[in-house]
């Protein structure tokens, strides 16, 4: 959530930076409501001051000899009553304006950072680097991951559709074992890098979804349990970030690093017809998420480290990938700066997103009221939050099934996973 004070004091700058995102955002209604709110607050403050003055004046007058039942005291008491009634009339007006402002501000995305490249859409994203060209398979005729997985009997779609609906899959035997091996390997790697593992709830309340920016904008892309006001998480970012909602953290405890494996659930609204087969775009998928709470002075340096943590998984698996910096027009709703990691899928001859690493600065912390306090200093500040996939498990499996596909149709298991699997070939 953007700072209303920043919007009020720098409206032209805010409007210009929002415009780089491509969509049209109008902050004028917010400014008008805020001005009305400030005017009401000023009037109420004046009335409260007069009410306090009257409350103090009455006993003074009586002490000085005025008749407690006389006209002078009666007039003052009548005025005090009138002031209280007027103040009570202001409260619902102010509440309504606060709610209107809150609704409008929650709909505004984060401001792109000054270092984020300006662009209209994903075609104007910037390639930062590539890694692993030497690991790109040279054998011809590599078939898509979903075909080879069904062929060797480790994935079944028809039975998953029978149980649920389209865009669900069932992993069987070595497929389930490979998924579990990837999860364990990713968690072990990130724990060794300094992340503290958590197992959070995968059902969260509306307040949690709002704090991290999923609501109200992405309600249609989320699964909700209406009777309980609970939502299936679209990513572990939501519950892990909200573990600290409404808290004040000691500055000495920063940075805080967490990693979490969870199932994730997304409707994928608006993507009908895209990647209908395979493990790329599912309603339910597994992911290891990395979440950071850091001091504002270090958040952009922490973003670079976060990207490195995600890259470490791909490098250990020897999967070719590239790092893309998103332009302003392709930036996620809550992010100020984002790097995507895209893994090579040889069957299509394309790089596909496998991780998105973002710095939210104080956007989520302001929505969720997550602060920190430095010893010896007055007041508190909002922490900066970051998160990234480390990695999306299904997409990683797809990349393994294609990049490690052998001419005879078997799959060589990456060396770092062989200990988990107890075998070398699928």
Which are the catalytic amino acids? 266, 281, 353, 356, 395
Which tens digit of pLDDT belongs to each residue from 93-139?
Answer: 999 999 999 999 999 999 999 999 999 999 999 999 999 999 999 98
Q: What is the CATH number of domain 4-106?
A: 1.10.287.40
Provide CB contacts within 8 A for 305, sequence distance 6+. none
DSSP state, 264?
E
Degrees to nearest 5, angle at CA 261 with 257 and 264:
120
- Quickly state the pLDDT bin for 162 (edges 50, 70, 90): very high
Over residues 144-168, mean pLDDT = 96
Asked if residue 334 lies in contact with residue 356, where contact means CB atoms within 8 angstroms, the answer is no
| Bigger pLDDT: 291 vs 74 | 291
What torsion do the CA atoms of 277, 278, 280, 286 make, to the nearest 10 degrees? Answer: 130
Give the mean pLDDT of the chain.
95
DSSP state, 158?
H
pLDDT over threshold 90, residue 241: yes
pLDDT over threshold 60, residue 416: yes
Provide the pLDDT for residue 277.
Answer: 85
- Quickly state the pLDDT bin for 193 (edges 50, 70, 90): very high
Over residues 54-70, mean pLDDT = 90
pTM of the model: 0.92
* CATH 3.30.930.10 placement within the chain: 122-421
Assigned superfamily of 122-421? Bira Bifunctional Protein; Domain 2 (3.30.930.10)
pLDDT over threshold 80, residue 255: yes
Provide the pLDDT for residue 271.
Answer: 57
Provide the pLDDT for residue 273.
Answer: 58
pLDDT over threshold 80, residue 276: no
pLDDT over threshold 60, residue 332: yes
Tokens of 284: 């339910």
Provide the pLDDT for residue 302.
Answer: 98
Provide the pLDDT for residue 296.
Answer: 98
Alpha-carbon span 111 to 2, nearest angstrom:
8
What are the backbone angles phi and psi of residue 328, rounded to the nearest 5°? Answer: -60, -35
pLDDT over threshold 60, residue 272: no
Nearest alpha carbon to residue 36 among 94, 92, 106: 94
Over residues 11-20, mean pLDDT = 96
Provide the pLDDT for residue 23.
Answer: 86
Which tens digit of pLDDT belongs to each residue from 203-216?
Answer: 999 999 999 999 99
pLDDT over threshold 90, residue 275: no
Provide CB contacts within 8 A for 218, sequence distance 6+. 234, 333
Provide the pLDDT for residue 21.
Answer: 96
- Out of 113-122, 156-165, 269-278, which region has the weakest mean confidence (pLDDT)? 269-278
* CATH 1.10.287.40 placement within the chain: 4-106
Which tens digit of pLDDT belongs to each residue from 363-388?
Answer: 999 999 999 999 999 999 999 999 99
Residue 277, phi-psi category: left (phi > 0), alpha (psi -120 to 50), beta (remainder): beta
Over residues 51-80, mean pLDDT = 91
């Amino acid at each position: 959530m953007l700072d209303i004070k920043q919007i009020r004091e720098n409206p032209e700058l805010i409007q210009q930076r929002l415009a780089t995102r491509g969509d049209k955002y109008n902050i004028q209604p917010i400014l008008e409501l805020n001005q009305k709110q400030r005017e009401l607050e000023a009037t109420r403050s004046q009335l409260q001051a007069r009410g306090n003055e009257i409350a103090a004046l009455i006993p003074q007058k009586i002490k000085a000899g005025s008749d407690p039942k006389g006209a002078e005291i009666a007039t003052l008491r009548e005025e005090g009553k009138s002031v209280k009634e007027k103040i009570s009339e202001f409260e619902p007006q102010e509440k309504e304006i606060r709610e209107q402002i809150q609704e409008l501000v929650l709909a505004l995305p984060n401001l792109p950072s000054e270092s984020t490249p300006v662009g209209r859409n994903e075609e104007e994203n910037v390639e930062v680097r590539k890694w692993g060209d030497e690991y790109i398979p040279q054998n011809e005729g590599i078939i898509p991951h979903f075909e080879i997985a069904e062929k060797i009997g480790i994935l079944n779609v028809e039975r998953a559709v029978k149980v649920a609906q389209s865009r669900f899959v069932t992993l069987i035997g070595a497929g389930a074992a490979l998924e579990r091996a990837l999860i364990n390997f990713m968690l072990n790697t990130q724990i060794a890098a300094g992340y503290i593992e958590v197992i959070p709830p995968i059902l969260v309340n509306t307040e949690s979804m709002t704090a991290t920016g999923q609501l109200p904008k992405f309600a249609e892309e989320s699964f909700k349990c209406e009777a309980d006001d609970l939502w299936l998480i679209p990513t572990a970012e939501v519950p892990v970030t909200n573990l600290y909602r409404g808290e004040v953290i000691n500055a000495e405890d920063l940075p805080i690093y967490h990693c979490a494996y969870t199932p994730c659930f997304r409707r994928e609204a608006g993507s009908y017809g895209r990647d209908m087969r395979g493990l790329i775009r599912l309603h339910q998928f597994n992911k290891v998420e990395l979440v950071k709470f850091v001091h504002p002075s270090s958040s952009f340096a922490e973003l670079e480290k976060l990207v490195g943590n995600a890259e470490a998984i791909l490098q250990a698996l020897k999967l070719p990938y590239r790092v893309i910096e998103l332009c302003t027009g392709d930036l996620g709703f809550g992010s100020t700066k984002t790097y995507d990691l895209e893994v090579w899928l040889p069957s299509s001859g394309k790089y596909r997103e496998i991780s998105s690493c973002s710095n939210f600065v104080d956007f989520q912390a302001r929505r969720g009221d997550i602060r920190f306090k430095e010893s010896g200093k007055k007041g508190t500040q909002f922490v900066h939050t970051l998160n990234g996939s480390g990695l999306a498990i299904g997409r990683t499996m797809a990349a393994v099934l294609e990049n490690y596909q052998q001419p005879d149709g078997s799959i060589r298991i990456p060396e770092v996973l062989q200990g988990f699997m107890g075998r070398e070939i699928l």
